[in-house]
Amino acid sequence: MSFDVPDDCRYLDSHEWVRQADDAATIGISDFAQDELGDVVFVELPDEGAELTAGEEFGVVESIKAVSDIYAPVSGTVTAVNDALFDEPELVNDDPYGDGWLLEIELADDSELDDLLSPDEYREQIA
């Protein structure tokens, strides 16, 4: 089975992705991660204004069979939360890099992006 690994994202080895647009970034979990978890039924996310620290746990994604902590790929301040997931958590399965995004943040230090896995490195990890 092959998994979608978009070239415009960078990845954490715990399967979160981040996509940068200027000083802002969007965070989610990878196609591989959603497939491993199976049917997502619940997400727990921080509120707007919360501070994320790179490498630290910031929320939880639960599927029918498992509970999985999610880790911040980069540090920053939460500027938007994907509220649609509260009613439709399955969006994480259906469209992990699109409608299934988790948070938007204002980046604290965009050099942290360099510490993350490139798409090729992440492809190698999940191969």
Write out the E strands in the chain. 10-11, 16-21, 24-29, 40-44, 51-52, 57-63, 67-71, 76-81, 103-107
Which one of 64, 120, 121, 124 is in contact with other proteins (CB under 8 A)?
64
Residue whose CB is less far from other proteins, 21 or 60: 60
Nearest approach, Cβ of 39 to other proteins (angstroms)?
4
Residue 57 binds other proteins, judged by CB under 8 A: no
Q: Could you tell me if 61 and 28 are in contact, meaning their C-beta atoms sit under 8 angstroms apart?
A: no
Residue 42 binds other proteins, judged by CB under 8 A: yes
Q: Are strands 51-52 and 10-11 parallel, antiparallel or unpaired?
A: unpaired
Max CA-CA distance within the chain? Answer: 38
Residue 84 binds other proteins, judged by CB under 8 A: no
* Token reading at 51: 């501070």
Residue 125 binds other proteins, judged by CB under 8 A: no
Residue 67 binds other proteins, judged by CB under 8 A: yes
Residues that bind other proteins (CB under 8 A): 1, 38-39, 41-42, 44, 60, 62-65, 67, 86, 93
